[in-house]
Structures are given as C-alpha cells and as structure tokens.
Amino acid sequence: MCGIFACHHHPNVAAFKPKALQLSKLIRHRGPDWSGNVTKNSTIIAHERLAIVGLDSGAQPLVNDDETLILGVNGEIYNHRVLRKELGDAYSFKTQSDCEVIIPLYTKYGLDAPNHLDGMFAFVLYDAVKDRIIAARDPIGITTLYMGRSSKQPGTVYFASEMKSLVEVCDNIISFPPGHIYDSSSDELTQYFKPSWWDGEKVPSTPLDYSAIRTTLESSVRKRLMSEVPYGVLLSGGLDSSLIASIAARETARAQKTSTNGQLTGVDEEGQLSGAASWPRLHSFAVGLPGAPDLLAARKVADFIGTVHHEHTFTIDEGLDALHDVIYHLETFDVTTIRASTPMYLLSRKIKAQGVKMVLSGEGSDEIFGGYLYFGAAPSKESFHEETVRRVKNLNLADCLRANKSTTAWGLEARVPFLDKAFLELVMNIDPAEKMITKDRMEKYILRKAFDVSTYGNDASLSEEDRKPYLPEDILWRQKEQFSDGVGYSWIDCLKDTAELMVSDDQLANPKPHWGDDVPETKEAYWYRCMFDEHFPTKTCADTVMRWVPKADWGCHADPSGRFVKSHNSAV
C-alpha cells in the first residue's frame, strides 16, 4: 500500500505546498520507502510509496511524456501485463509499475478507465490540458480513500488515503464511495461498478458449480502473488485464511519453478503467474493470546500445508496499551472493528520486522457466502441474499477498513483474494438457497465442499496436485470463529471489564451533546468514542464511521461477537 494526498483548484498552491507535504507526511506509515510530489497549475499531488512492484522505476507521482497527465495511485493492478499488451505502442511506458497503465487507459477510455482495472486501488489523476482532476476507488473499497472540502475555499477539493490528512484543512469529509469515480469537470461522483447483483432485489438463480468456486478462487490467489518482494499469509486457523494459505502454498511452489528473467511480475493472458518473488517456502503468521483457539488451529494448518510458520502472542496489557494508536490509525469507533483490529495491528508490526511487505488475508468470505453465524436466522433465501449484498456494500467501512489500516500502520500491504471481481461475480450470482445455513448445512457449506477433494470423485480433469487435500478435515469443517474471539475469548471479556472501570453509569446515561443521535449503547462503545474524539473531534469525522452490528430483526444478540449466537460452539 501507499499513501496519496491531493488538492485541486487551490487559490495559492505554491504557498500551500509546504502544508500539503506536512499533511502527506501524516500518512507516511503507509509508504515509508519514498516520497514524491508534483505541482501543476493549481493542483498538487503528493505520494508516499511502499515499493512492491517496479521497485527501481515505480516512484510516484507518475507522468506521461509531456507531463500533462499526473497520476498518484495507492493500489495494485493485477492485470497490468495484459493491459500493456492490449494498449500496444499507443503509449510509451516509462516504468515497470503496475499502476502506470491507468494513464493510457484514461487517454483511451476517459471516465470508463476504472472498469478495465482488475485490482485494488484508489487514484487521483490530473489532466493539465483540461485542468481536470479525476479520482476513483476500487469496486468494493479494499483500498481506503477520503474526499474533503473547505467552506472557506468552496472551489477546492481534497483527497487522501486517510482522513487524518484532511482534518486540518477540511470541514466536510466523506469516505469516498467504492466503485465510484469523481470528475471535477462536472463536480460529480458517478458509480462505475454496476454488477447484476448490486441492488440486492433480484434474487440470483445460477446453479451451484463447486469446480468453478475452486478454480476461480485459485486464480484470484495466483493474481495476488504479483510481487517483487517477499510475501506471506495471515493464518488464523479459520476456514477462510486457511484456504487462502493452502492455495498460496501451492501457487508459491509452482512459482518457484519460474524466474523473473527481466519479465514484469504478474499474470499473463492465460492467468499464469511469472516473476513473483518469495522465499523458497511460504511464510505464515498467526497471533493470539497464549493458548488461543486460533493459534492452535493455525499451527495445525501450517504443519499440514508446509509453511514456515511464525506464531506471535500478545498480552492483554499490550492490547490495551495499543488501543489509542489503533483508533488513530483506523479512524473509527466501531466496537467490532477495534476488537479485531488490535491483534491484527500488533501482528503487522511483527511481520514487517521480519522483512515482509505484503500478505494475503481472508476478508470478504463471510459477506459473500453469508458466513456469520447470525445468518442462520435468515427467514428466506431472498432475505439471506439481501443481507449478503448489504454486508458486501459495507465492507469498505468494516473489514476492508480494518485489513487496510491495521497493516498499513506499519507499511505492510494486505491483499484479499475473496474480493476478486471475478470471484464476486460468480459467488454473488449463485442461488442463495445453496448458501443458507440449515440443520444439514453449516455456514459456508458450499465453500467447504468446493475444497473437499472427495466432492469431485474420480474427475479425470483434476491433476495429481489438485487431488491432494487442501486442509485437515477438522479445519475444513471448523465452525466460524470471529477473529476477535479466536485470538482468545478473554480479549473481548477484558475490553468489556476495562470499559466498566473507565466509564461510569452516569456518563453512559448522559452522552456528550455533540454526539447528537449517534449515542453509544454500551460502556465499551462509549470508551472507544471518547478516544476517537481525542484524535478526530469534529462531527464530519464521526459521520464517516459505520457501526458493525448483526441484523437485529433476526433476533440477534446486541453484542456483535459470534460467541453470543446460539449456534456457536465454544472452543474452550
């Protein structure tokens, strides 16, 4: 990941430049490898770089030959090799950066350029000839982006990878909506990502195809191994991270048989990976309190798939000590996100210290498959599908935000194969009756079956490698354990107990006036909101936050922890 800061139509951009560089520096943790900036007309784009692809020549902002197009990007474009070939000689590439393709795509397709990208991204591009800036964010919002304005300068618009870079200069800030593009020429945000399942009203009816689920997810993981630096996998021992780790271990072994030979790293037209850098064996990373259920399960998976496994523990006190910093980096006061982000934040620092810049992670599976235990209360397939769509739409304010900011706090990049565009299109169009939790089918049943080699019998199309089990049986069929629970049940219990000490009954009963109708319902939520206010005291900042809660009208417990769902089987 990288960090971007941009300002367009500033009344005195030369005088503003020193301040712009200070604001960009606030997000240097996202890109500690290099800083760059370009000023043109009344626009400035600043960039903090984390070098993963195009190490020697990918410094940003990127510019075209006559320096009339200036680009700042935070992201990874997995199909850049294919796009370069399609574009032919129409554009003279200056770097091996995967992101440079955005410049010729804009020249050729204009505002439709993001639809040609396969990856996670947030970018701003300035067209000096038209004095026009455009900004876009990936379809699901894996990569963070904020947009701001100031009432003192109504014609100026700001963009930044994190909200903290905008607070000082903007009194109106929004989380840039995923799947949208902004055009300063019209001063409008337009949705470019419009999949068939997006409105949630039309219930899909595509028949289930286990083989398609397996091969499409494998392709998604393969794309995300595009890297010129060592990478690893986050391994909690749950189904999602374990499957990603298992596939990545297989793909890494295959990638070891090829060498870069000066090639661009990435996948070709046939979806084959080349030029990926890694250690001889895949490294996996797990975190938890001593004896946590996730640590035990992760160790079993690592032994089974043959990764070099790194097990990191943290103490309750270390977690509590990190809360202020976690909230500063996450820019949220949501209870679920903070609970889960703190262990991930602590682990990310350890991973970066071990020489890794990129990891694969399992976010998104529960949203697209309806894997949270409360989905077991869905009254119909129609409501089940509607809830999966709602969860996917909110990922940018929940699990994607957590995965992005917990890792980038330490200059680490997290990639999420379950949110690949092709995989989303496949799974979100499956008849939701196949996904429902019943007395005969546990959560994410069809994902488990897709990677259960016994499902395919004597299918002659499977290679010898594909016939090998992906995971131990008890891991493949392990019940959902939310990350904040799996790191050790005492973690959430201690947060609640500490909140009881930090917040009085009188305080809870008398919320602060500036909170308006957004009132915390528990002492833990009240405590987090107070810490958030210390960093981000304005209402416009608080308005960017979404609370993750189960669906109340399905009879769900008020606490978002999966432990409070009746179907949960305690691991301890």
The per-residue pLDDT for range 199-220, each reduced to its tens digit, is 878 899 999 999 999 999 999 9
Considering the domain architecture, whether residues 226 and 169 belong to the same structural domain is answered as no
Give catalytic residue positions: 2
Considering the domain architecture, whether residues 231 and 162 belong to the same structural domain is answered as no
Mean pLDDT over 265-279 rounds to 69
Please give the residue range of the domain that contains residue 145: 3-191
- Helices (H) and strands (E) counted in the chain, each on its own, are 19, 19
Residue 562 has pLDDT above 50, yes or no: no
In a domain, 466, yes or no: yes
Which are the contacts of 465, defined by CB distance < 8 A and separation ≥ 6? 250
DSSP 395-439: GGGTHHHHHHHHHHTTT-EEE-GGG-HHHHHHHTTB-GGGT---S
In a domain, 430, yes or no: yes
167 close to 441: Cβ distance less than 8 angstroms = no
Lowest-pLDDT range, 283-297, 409-423, 440-454?
283-297
pLDDT band at 572 (very low <50, low <70, confident <90, very high): very low
Percent of the chain past pLDDT 70, that is, above it, reads 93
Considering the domain architecture, whether residues 69 and 110 belong to the same structural domain is answered as yes
In this structure, what CATH number is given to the domain that contains residue 174?
A: 3.60.20.10
CA–CA separation, 219 and 226 (whole Å): 12
Number of domains forming the structure of the chain: 2
Residue 90 has pLDDT above 60, yes or no: yes
Q: pLDDT averaged over the chain? A: 92
pTM of structure: 0.94
CA–CA separation, 119 and 113 (whole Å): 13
In a domain, 94, yes or no: yes
Lowest-pLDDT range, 20-29, 121-130, 276-285, 366-375?
276-285
Residue 481 has pLDDT above 80, yes or no: no
Residue 106 has pLDDT above 60, yes or no: yes
CA–CA separation, 492 and 496 (whole Å): 6
N- to C-terminal Cα separation, the chain: 37
CA–CA separation, 266 and 79 (whole Å): 7
Considering the domain architecture, whether residues 219 and 165 belong to the same structural domain is answered as no
In a domain, 200, yes or no: no
Mean pLDDT over 48-66 rounds to 87
Considering the domain architecture, whether residues 179 and 217 belong to the same structural domain is answered as no
DSSP 186-243: TTEEEE----TTTTS-SPP-BPP-HHHHHHHHHHHHHHTT--SS-EEEE--SSHHHHH
126, 156, 191 — which closes off a domain?
Answer: 191
In a domain, 203, yes or no: no
From start to end of 275-422, where are the E strands?
283-288, 308-313, 358-360, 413-415
10 close to 52: Cβ distance less than 8 angstroms = no
pLDDT at 544: 97
The DSSP 8-state label assigned to residue 124 in this structure reads E
In a domain, 198, yes or no: no
CA–CA separation, 249 and 243 (whole Å): 10
In a domain, 444, yes or no: yes
Mean pLDDT over 469-490 rounds to 78
In a domain, 302, yes or no: yes
pLDDT band at 331 (very low <50, low <70, confident <90, very high): very high
Considering the domain architecture, whether residues 182 and 240 belong to the same structural domain is answered as no
Considering the domain architecture, whether residues 297 and 366 belong to the same structural domain is answered as yes
Q: CA 225, 228, 230, 236 torsion: positive or negative?
A: negative
Q: Which two tokens stand for residue 435?
A: 């996904």
Higher pLDDT, 301 or 566: 301
Sheet with 34-40, strands from edge to edge, namely 34-40, 43-49, 3-8, 153-160, 146-150, 172-175
134, 159, 191 — which closes off a domain?
Answer: 191
In this structure, what CATH number is given to the domain that contains residue 470?
A: 3.40.50.620
Residue matched to tokens 């799947």: 179
Which are the contacts of 192, defined by CB distance < 8 A and separation ≥ 6? 111, 112, 114, 115, 136, 179, 180, 181
- Burial class of 268 by CB neighbour count within 10 A (0 to 12, 13 to 18, 19+): middle
Residue 569 has pLDDT above 70, yes or no: no
Considering the domain architecture, whether residues 249 and 126 belong to the same structural domain is answered as no
Lowest-pLDDT range, 42-46, 265-269, 413-417, 466-470?
265-269
Considering the domain architecture, whether residues 108 and 180 belong to the same structural domain is answered as yes
Considering the domain architecture, whether residues 227 and 180 belong to the same structural domain is answered as no
pLDDT at 486: 58
CA–CA separation, 96 and 89 (whole Å): 15
Q: CA 280, 282, 285, 291 torsion: positive or negative?
A: negative
Q: CA 294, 299, 305, 308 torsion: positive or negative?
A: positive
Considering the domain architecture, whether residues 217 and 180 belong to the same structural domain is answered as no
Considering the domain architecture, whether residues 215 and 187 belong to the same structural domain is answered as no
Helix (H, G, I), strand (E, B), or coil: what is residue 12?
coil
